[in-house]
Amino acid sequence: METEILKIDRKGRSKIKDFVTDEAPLTIDLDGSELVTLLCSPFDIKELSIGFLYSSGIIKSVEDIEKIVIDKNNSTAYVKLKKKFAAGDMLFKRMYSSGCGRGIIFYNMLDKIPRKKLKKGFDVPAEKIMSLMKLFEKKSTLFKKTGGVHSAGFSSGKEITVFKEDIGRHNALDKIIGEALIKELDFENMIMLTSGRLSSEIMFKIRRTGVCIIVSRGAPTDQAVKLAREWNLTLAGFVRGGRMNVYSAEDRII
């Protein structure tokens, strides 16, 4: 949205037009019951809804969904599953995340996270990761315009295959997960890129996909590093300015 602001700098004060990022609530209605309301950037709603259901452990693939209808007027995604989801008391078991955009995880879904270590998978040159991050940053047009969103993407190792932006780093991840599911991409052969901080709840979303390499411009928390080492997931942070810090499974980066 474009709005008038007062800009104050060394040159003095001036009234200018500037852009601020849009923010809106999105309610996900699952089989006729309200599951959750997310604060998000109001685009790529279908991808966000599917990605959220997947990363929360509610669906295993888009094949579990019988129908999804996006009602933009009421800011609601109506989702009907082929097999009715037995929610039980899950609606009362929410863990509010540490991030912007008020991310939510249903913590009784965490026991569905795979516990096995990830396989070795593939190797990627450090120089390639840095070049991918430069390309990733160039695609962040909404951030350049507003400074108020996070970005997330998937790469095949050669190009950015999926790219999304949102006010919440959790939402941005769910959006790329949702699009990857729709496109039937193979998570295990993808590198995940993100602009945001890597905390434990972000790691739970990542582990659900089976991705073995995650790189970020931001920093990880101690719990994120512990989980990455436990899962044999390659976690690289501070990927910018021709450098990076690799915190776990560094043998994948050559």
pLDDT on residue 103: 54
Looking at the fold, whether 104 and 162 belong to one and the same domain comes out as no
Residue 70 confidence (pLDDT) above 60: yes
Residue 252 confidence (pLDDT) above 80: yes
pLDDT on residue 1: 84
Q: Is residue 168 part of a domain?
A: yes
pLDDT band at 92 (very low <50, low <70, confident <90, very high): very low
Q: Which CATH number goes with the domain that contains 135?
A: 3.40.140.10
Looking at the fold, whether 100 and 136 belong to one and the same domain comes out as no
Question: Which DSSP helix (H) or strand (E) runs through 14?
Answer: strand 12-19
Looking at the fold, whether 80 and 28 belong to one and the same domain comes out as yes
Tell me the pLDDT tens digit for each residue of 210-223. Answer: 999 999 999 999 99
40 assigned to active site: no
Final residue in a domain of this structure, among 110, 145, 162: 110
Looking at the fold, whether 68 and 149 belong to one and the same domain comes out as no
Q: Is residue 237 part of a domain?
A: yes
pLDDT on residue 94: 52
Q: Is residue 14 part of a domain?
A: no
Residue 145 to residues 131, 148, 238, Cα–Cα distance (Å): 22, 9, 23
What is the separation, in whole angstroms, between the first and last Cα of the chain? Answer: 43
Q: Is residue 15 part of a domain?
A: no
Residue 20 to residues 99, 102, 180, 183, 221, Cα–Cα distance (Å): 19, 19, 28, 31, 29
Residue 114 makes CB contacts below 8 A (sequence gap 6+) with 207, 208, 210
pLDDT on residue 187: 95
Looking at the fold, whether 86 and 139 belong to one and the same domain comes out as no
pLDDT band at 2 (very low <50, low <70, confident <90, very high): confident
Percent of the chain at pLDDT exceeding 90? 73
Residue with tokens 């739970």: 204
Looking at the fold, whether 78 and 156 belong to one and the same domain comes out as no
Mean local confidence (pLDDT), 66-89: 88
Looking at the fold, whether 140 and 245 belong to one and the same domain comes out as yes
Looking at the fold, whether 215 and 135 belong to one and the same domain comes out as yes
Show the domain range for 60: 24-110
Residue 134 makes CB contacts below 8 A (sequence gap 6+) with none
> What angle (nearest 5°) sits at the alpha carbon of residue 87, between those of residues 167 and 54?
45
Q: Is residue 9 part of a domain?
A: no
Q: How many domains is the chain built from?
A: 2
Looking at the fold, whether 68 and 173 belong to one and the same domain comes out as no
Of 30, 79, 100, 249, the catalytic one is: 100
Higher pLDDT, 144 or 94: 144
pLDDT on residue 231: 96
Looking at the fold, whether 104 and 139 belong to one and the same domain comes out as no
Final residue in a domain of this structure, among 48, 79, 110: 110
CB count within 10 Å of CB 119 equals 10
Looking at the fold, whether 75 and 170 belong to one and the same domain comes out as no
Mean local confidence (pLDDT), 76-80: 97
pLDDT on residue 89: 47
Tell me the pLDDT tens digit for each residue of 98-154. Answer: 444 445 555 555 555 666 799 988 999 999 999 999 999 999 888 888 888 999 999
Looking at the fold, whether 130 and 230 belong to one and the same domain comes out as yes
Residue 90 confidence (pLDDT) above 90: no
Tell me the pLDDT tens digit for each residue of 146-192. Answer: 888 999 999 998 899 999 999 999 999 999 999 999 999 999 999 99
Average pLDDT, the chain: 89
pLDDT on residue 96: 42
Q: Which CATH number goes with the domain that contains 50?
A: 3.10.20.10
Residue 73 makes CB contacts below 8 A (sequence gap 6+) with none
Q: Is residue 116 part of a domain?
A: no
